[in-house]
Amino acid sequence: MKSFLFFKINGEIEKKTTKCKIFTDSSEGINLDVEIKFTHYVKYENYIILHNNDSNKELNKTVFYFTTDRFNGDIALIKIGANNLIKNLLIDDYFKKLTKKLQGTININSSSDSESDIDLSIYGKILTKEPFEY
């Protein structure tokens, strides 16, 4: 099973899994073999963002480090390789890349004369469900 990230409209992030190994779309919609249904997607170099094109929904708080695009409602992020092969995407891995990008931004800002703070709240909250042991 492959994992991907689900970004809720309120900023929470959940890991979801799918049995699909290759991302495909068809006239019937996007099939990830999960309960979440999406009607649209945007493909980037290493990622695909799934969304529903519904302007009646509130703007999702998530800001991705690799694009300035914004989406309404809940969205999903899939990591892909060659030939749209779905790769595992875990919250920790995604936030390591996000942190690297932010550190680069902080270094650029700190080397200039202006003082500016970066508001990390736009990157959402992490919702993790850890196993509980007695």
**134 found inside a domain:** no
115 pLDDT more than 60: no
Helices (H), 20-131: 91-110
Alpha-carbon distance 57 to 39, whole Å?
Answer: 14
On whether residue 119 sits in a domain, the answer given is yes
Give me the domain span that covers residue 63.
1-129
**Number of structural domains, the chain?**
1
- The number of beta carbons lying within 10 Å of the beta carbon of residue 34 is 15
- Whether residue 41 lies inside any domain: the answer is yes
Instruction: Say which residue, 48 or 108, is predicted with more confidence.
Output: 48
Does residue 31 belong to any structural domain of this protein?
yes
Handedness of CA 31, 98, 66, 73 (dihedral sign): positive
Quick: pLDDT tens for 44-90.
999 999 999 888 899 998 989 899 999 999 999 999 999 989 999 99
Banded pLDDT at 3 (limits 50, 70, 90) = very high
Cα–Cα distances (Å) from 122 to 7, 34, 58, 67, 118, in that order, read 12, 27, 15, 14, 10
Query: Does 30 score more than 60 pLDDT?
Result: yes
